[in-house]
Amino acid sequence: MSTATPMKKPDWIKVRLPSDPVFWSTKGLVSDLRLHTVCEEAQCPNRWECWSQGTATFMIAGDRCTRACGFCAVKTAKPFALEDDEPERVAEATRRMKLGHVVITAVARDDVADGGAEHFARTIEAVRAGNPGIVIEILVPDFNGKDEAIQTVMEARPHIFNHNLETVERLTPLVRSRAQYQRSLEVLSKAKAMACGRVATKSGIMLGLGEEEEEIFKAMDDLRKHEVTVLTLGQYLRPSLKHLPVVDYIHPDVFARYKTVAEEKGFRHVASGPLVRSSYHAADFRPELDLGD
Ligand code: SF4
């Protein structure tokens, strides 16, 4: 992996510093309930903004991932056992934060037979029971494409099922070495089919890893062929010199053009911009619009 001097960040990659008391109360609550967030673990550049607005994305099943993707700041290590009371703690945090829309993700747990699917399902059920009317969005690993694991999660009835392609087909082996582009597409279409269409499916792609424009458009087409209707496009930022280098910083105007292209391809909701992440302003998308309720 390259350790060359990092490219200078352009002016449009601006990260705010914490100043709002809500930021600190969000931080305190996450810590009191012994929860992990992808906001912190993945060094998300928006955490000051999101946490100051009283929202966060919970990361369940521990803070140790069994994979070692070249872009991701979450640590790779042998995970600890799943914690039985974690679903209730996520539900309690959601209740205390008064969230109307919660995003829950997890590390990849290739060390357990179902990839952590049952733990995901229990968390969805606990959050729904403790927070009536809430919109539940999950951002899942690929569960190695196992139907039973996807079925387990879908039986808990999330409103939005998100699984990120992360990058274009050609770069997938470099960026997500244990994942497969086609398998990820199939995970998305299987989830939709298992819910008989009663779920919104969502995916995201990071830009700036060396992908060509035609490859981005092909990934959009592939997602649409697999019935995905919500798309996020954001700039890849290198967490450390051990991670993949940034090849390009994509100008905000280009992100705006990609949003138009994606909408023309039939995506119902597109978030596209340098600091967009899977869960950034997630509540702006109302799945009932997608599901026709
Ligand atoms: S964009 Fe998502 S991961 Fe980043 S701080 Fe906001 S909620 Fe957390």
**122-134 pLDDT, tens per residue?**
999 999 999 999 9
SS (H, E, C) the chain: CCCCCCCCCCCCCCCCCCCCHHHHHHHHHHHHCCCEEHHHHCCCCCHHHHHHCCCCEEEECCCEECCCCCCCCCEECCCCCCCCCHHHHHHHHHHHCCCCEEEEEECCCCCCCCCCHHHHHHHHHHHHHHCCCCEEEEECCCHHHCHHHHHHHHHCCCCEEECCCECCCCCHHHHCCCCCHHHHHHHHHHHHHHCCCCCEEEEEEEECCCCCHHHHHHHHHHHHHCCCCEEEEEECCCCCCCCCCCCCCCCHHHHHHHHHHHHHCCCCEEEECCCCCCCCCHHHCCHHHHHCC
Residue located nearest, by CA, to atom 8 of ligand 1: 39
Cα 47 from Cα 36, distance rounded (Å): 13
* 30 in contact with ligand 1, CB cutoff 6 A: no
Residue 101 near ligand 1, beta carbon < 6 Å: no
CA distance 46 to 63: 19
d(CA 106, CA 42): 12
Each residue's pLDDT tens digit, 168-227: 999 999 999 999 999 999 999 999 999 999 999 999 999 999 999 999 999 999 999 999
Fold of the 21-285 domain: TIM Barrel (3.20.20)
Is 74 touching ligand 1 by the criterion CB < 6 Å?
no
Domain boundaries, the chain: 21-285
Give the C-alpha separation, 44 to 29, whole Å: 18
Residue 293, pLDDT score? 46
Average pLDDT, the chain: 94
Evaluate: CB of 52 within 6 angstroms of ligand 1: no
Closest CA to 69 of 273, 236, 216: 236
Ligand 1: does its nearest atom lie under 6 Å from the Cβ of 46? yes
110 CA from centroid of ligand 1 (Å): 24
Q: Is the CB of 47 under 6 A from ligand 1?
A: yes
β-strands 200-207, 230-235: how paired? parallel
Task: Name the burial class of residue 133, with classes exposed (0-12), middle (13-18) and buried (19+) by CB atoms within 10 angstroms of its CB.
Answer: exposed
Q: Is the pLDDT score of 18 beyond 90?
A: no
State in Å: Cα 132 to ligand 1 middle: 23
Evaluate whether 72 touches 38 at the Cβ level (below 8 Å).
Answer: no
- Evaluate: CB of 39 within 6 angstroms of ligand 1: yes
- Condensed to tens digits (0 to 9), the pLDDT of residues 36-82 reads 999 999 999 999 999 999 999 999 999 999 999 999 999 999 999 99
Measured in Å, residue 63 CA sits from the centre of ligand 1 at 16
CA–centroid distance, 177 to ligand 1, in Å, is 24
255-273 average pLDDT score: 97
Q: Any bridge partners for residue 138, and if so which?
A: 104, 161
pLDDT above 90 covers what percent of the chain? 90
Greatest pairwise CA separation for the chain in angstroms: 51
Angle (CA) 160-13-49 rounded to 5° is 50
With a cut of 50, say whether residue 3 has pLDDT above it: no
